Amino acid sequence: MIGTWWIWAVAALGLGIAEMLAPGFIFLGFALSAAVLSLIVLVGGPLAAWLTGSVPLMMVAFAALALLAWIALRAIFGRPGSAPKTFEHDIND
């Protein structure tokens, strides 16, 4: 049952809604991970067959993808609390 694609799609949607209610990229990495797993299971193939073989393996894949998504989001959007960009000169000078 954990291997059906729509469960992961609903989880991604729910986590995306949770991110809207609690902004700050807390749930976005998990939502992206669930969406990627949903696409993997929907498309099928040997990777999907290998992942859906056991629930613990699917959870490890979910955690690894969430970690990668979190690292990518940090690289794209920066760290919270980092200093805003300041300009020393005016563009019209």
Question: Which pLDDT tens digit goes with each residue over 3-29?
Answer: 578 888 999 999 999 999 987 778 999
Amino acid in the structure at residue 3: G
Q: What is the mean pLDDT of residues 64-72?
A: 92
pLDDT grade for 93, boundaries at 50, 70 and 90: low
Q: How many residues does the chain have?
A: 93
CA 17 from centroid of its chain's CA atoms: 13
Per-domain residue ranges of the chain = 5-77
